[in-house]
Amino acid sequence: MANANELRELTPQELDGRVQELRRQMFDMRNKHSTGVLDSTAELVKARRDVARCLTVKREKEQGLARQAKVAPQKKAKKE
């Protein structure tokens, strides 16, 4: 799944579509889990987090917040 910076490039309608798709996948995964067919329960957790990430970015857009990508600080070079 895309990270938050990639999701910020999408329109709110595209984010809605992605949320619907992820929720459908979660439904299928829960059914597979209840029948014992689901291979990895971690996928269910990932899907839930992706839904939350999409909804967070959508809410940021509604409020007009402009987030910038976090840049990792550069490490200082060792003195020799």
- Give domain status of residue 71, yes or no: no
pLDDT per residue as tens digits for the range 57-69: 999 888 887 666 5
Place of tokens 């909804």: 55
Across all residues in the chain, what is the average pLDDT? 86
- Give domain status of residue 76, yes or no: no
- Give domain status of residue 54, yes or no: yes
Domain count, the chain: 1
- Give domain status of residue 72, yes or no: no
pLDDT, residue 80, reads 58
pLDDT, residue 21, reads 96
Work out the pLDDT band at 5, boundaries 50, 70, 90: confident
pLDDT, residue 2, reads 73
The domain containing residue 16 runs over which residues? 4-63
Q: What is the pTM of this model?
A: 0.74
Whether residue 35 is predicted with pLDDT greater than 60 in this model: the reply is: yes
